Amino acid sequence: MRLDQFETQRSVGPHGFVKFMGVLIDVEDENIIMTPGAPDQQGFFFNEANLNLDRLIAKAARTSYTHGTTRVRDDAKLIDYLMRHHHTSPFEMVEFKFLIRAPLFVVQQFLRHRTASVNQESARYSMLEDLEFLPEPKDWRKPGLFNKQGSQYLNEEEVEVIGEPAYAVAEEALRHSYAAYQTLLDLGVSRELARIVLPTATYTKFVWKIDLHNLLRFLKLRLDDTAQEEIRHYAMAILEMIRPFVPHTIESWENHVLNACTLSADELTVVREIIKHHYAVQSDSDVQLVSDLSAAGLSASRIREFKAKLRLIEPS
């Protein structure tokens, strides 16, 4: 893959972006050799059609294999096994680095994930640009009906009575705040103090480096429907940027983590009893259950795992 053919930057919101800066490369892997691009082009060339970092995850996992190992899975099957059994350390062997521009209230949510290395633009040394996050009238939201910390979009009537006045109030406040910031600087106030009048809508930039395991944990939380929409847009951009590098990992993660759910002990009891009751009416409950699970695409080993999860059989 050639990085100048890869979408190295994605726009997010009115002024934000996520820019791909690099990945951790295993220099011992002879299949990954990076050379500078042509002088008139940005990026790098790789000596294969696709830079697939899934191979590095599988390679890290196979360090656990010693003499006497009877079976070595191919990369995709091994990654799926690791993901479904929560063997997370091999995914830490791949790291991604991004340059992100986001409003301060979104940056604060990034920083809550304390597993990344962060280097943020300093407003002590640099003068911040006149860039603020300001939703259009139709994009303002009211408090959520069920999720008290969340929100929901306005209907057409509410856009007029809430969205348009809200836009006008916020636009004026943002304009005055940056004007005050500029005035303080003109008066000779230091940058580190002049910034106190800037709102959390102000954009800033930061470098964000994180290993794949913790990145997937970030994405699980920030792609959730209950996450704030503004950071969800950044999470979606990041997901699509890393997908070409770790396609098997993302496919497995979407199946076993992102689109999966966890049941509590009492919920598990209810589900188990429903299944036992349903298949008890069949002439041979186990055969029918296996047949239905096979029809759903589960392999024999996955069927055993499923039945063990529901305590229909003893875990092996």
Quickly count: other Cβ atoms within 10 Å of residue 153's Cβ. 13
Report the distance separating Cα 41 and Cα 39, nearest Å.
6
Report the distance separating Cα 288 and Cα 296, nearest Å.
12
What is the amino acid identity at position 200? Answer: T
The structure tokens listed for 76 are: 């995709």
Report the distance separating Cα 189 and Cα 195, nearest Å.
10
Report the distance separating Cα 275 and Cα 278, nearest Å.
5
Q: In this structure, what DSSP letter does residue 44 have?
A: E
Q: In this structure, what DSSP letter does residue 284 have?
A: S
| Short-list 27, 257, 208, CA closest to 106 | 208
| Short-list 209, 10, 233, 16, CA closest to 104 | 16
Quickly count: other Cβ atoms within 10 Å of residue 210's Cβ. 22
| Short-list 221, 219, 213, 220, CA closest to 249 | 213
Residue 245, burial from CB neighbour count under 10 angstroms (0-12, 13-18, 19+)? buried
Catalytic residue among 222, 232, 272, 304: 222
Cα–Cα distance list, 229 to 24, 105, 120, 152 (Å): 30, 12, 22, 10
222 is annotated as an active-site residue:
yes
Which residues are annotated as catalytic?
222
